[in-house]
Structure 1
Amino acid sequence: MREAAIEWLQLRTDGGNEPLTRDDILDFHFADETVRLQAPMQGIWKPRGYQAALSFRTAYTKPGEKPPYEDATGSDGLFRYKWRGTDPNHPENVGLRAAMKLRLPLIWFLGVAMSPARYQVIAPVYIVGEEPEKQQFAFTAAEDAATAFELSESAHEVVARRYLQRMAKARVHQPAFRSMVLSAYENRCAICNLGHSGLLDAAHVVPDRDERGIAAVDNGLAMCKIHHAAFDGNFLGVHPDFVVHVRHDLLEEVDGPMLKHGLQALHGRKLMKLPLQRKERPKREFLEIKFDEFQKATLRR
């Protein structure tokens, strides 16, 4: 059932790219029966009769707010998930510990939006260690259990290098970042208001290659693919006051309708779409960094 659930979630989320609501998650059936994949209230879910937990959940936290649990990524690159309460023998903690000992895959539901609540599905993940003094488990988004557990306890640094630096970003941060940003912008391009999610990306304001380029909704803009490419390539910039600027040499160029209507006509206009929640809008300091880069690129032309 565990393997069937993960396969079903991969199909429902288009390989982990699209978030699911709680109602979506309730649609799973196995052996002609509805099977719950997520806890109704608590974070950790161990179905009745199961020795090991099946899933755990991280609630969505609005920008600037403190999360209810201090789940985080450690300096070694491994993800952390806090115990339920402080009792190591709480049934939910016992369930996660059993999954670790049995080397079973779990499902991580990472909250990316609320009202309605939506979750990015990261699966499979594997618990590879426990830190009782900090009342938390360490886990990784590895491809398979054999790979995740083949390294010894002393080889966590290797785990971080080989998997978590690459996979945590590609398989966790980026899909979750996309879901949070597109949800905040109601699946519309901030530049042109295009509303087809399959044609939209989550653009980093400060690039993720920069240490300041965090994968947070207030460092993001929902953009259609052409405007995302134009933004990353400094063909257009977004002023901290949300006004679109197009590079001067493009304004003078004569080409076709895409250039005329898709770029040139945007110059001097305000963004067409912004999140309703001000805390989810791009931080001014991030826009200043990116707009400075755009201006320098413009001067070189």
Structure 2
Amino acid sequence: MAHTAELSTDKPADRSPSRAARLARDFALNKYLYIMMIPVVVYYLVFHYAPMYGALIAFKDYSPMKGIVGSDWVGFRHFADFFNSYYFWRILKNTITISLYSLIFEFPTPIILALLINEVRHKTFKRVAQTITYMPYFISLVVICGIITDFTNADGIINRIFVWMGYDGQAMLQRPELFRSIYILSEIWQRIGWESIIYIAALMGIDQEQYEAARMDGASRFKQMMHITLPGIMPTIAIMMILRMGNLLNVGFEKIILLYNPITYDTADVISSFVYRKGLLEFGWSYSSAVGLFNSVINLILLVTANYVSRRLNDSSLW
């Protein structure tokens, strides 16, 4: 009996499978999913991670004849030159200003459009409204910028309307104080429909029984939107906000370059357009790489910070 009691007090052996065994079993169960994932992994390794090796030229005096390895090492000299240059505060200020304007004015507009479309009961009108708002996104950026330039020229239709209202008639893109407003308004027009798709999809996942219960309790459509619809898509809004914060300083240089000119550099020149000019037009490869690397590090810090804050506030995060 004593021997039996002694045996009963022994702890059972730990027979949980090892991590390798669990991975092997998971691969056996989902092998086709792993096979489908291979092209995506290869794509990111080849086109996203392998090119990061080239960031070394930010710390070297790069010469195409010597190559990345053979070029002279200069450490943080290019970073110091950038931080001490006249352009540093100008382009940093412009980048942050345009990014904040975009975050404040452009980010909420797709959410508002999705909420409005969700409230429309006429299916034909809803389809027409969605199609019209989607269309500008699929137009070439060069064409978009050409339209903006033509409409805001001295004899453009928008400029003529403003002249009729008392404007002096000067081409709008020649006035530095108007560049940011034109850029943000055109961004809203171009992207509002496309970016609303993800919010419309999130709205489809809300339980319709909540609306029925709210209507039975006498809640108006506005109260249903405030207390059911918005909380239902809040996790999606949080994720999109995190992604936007991670690209806060990545103001698209293509549109900036197509719209700006030396007259508007003081308010239009941003980090990405500065990197383009220094790297491709003036052949300052190492200097422009240092500026681009600085921009990427700041974006990474903003992404991690936004993810942490979102996870603490509403339990929604990327990781």
The interval holding the TM-score normalised by the smaller chain is under 0.3
* Larger-gyration structure (1/2): 2
Task: Name which structure has the greater RCO, CA cutoff 8 Å, separation 6+.
Answer: 2
Q: TM-score, normalised by structure 1?
A: 0.25
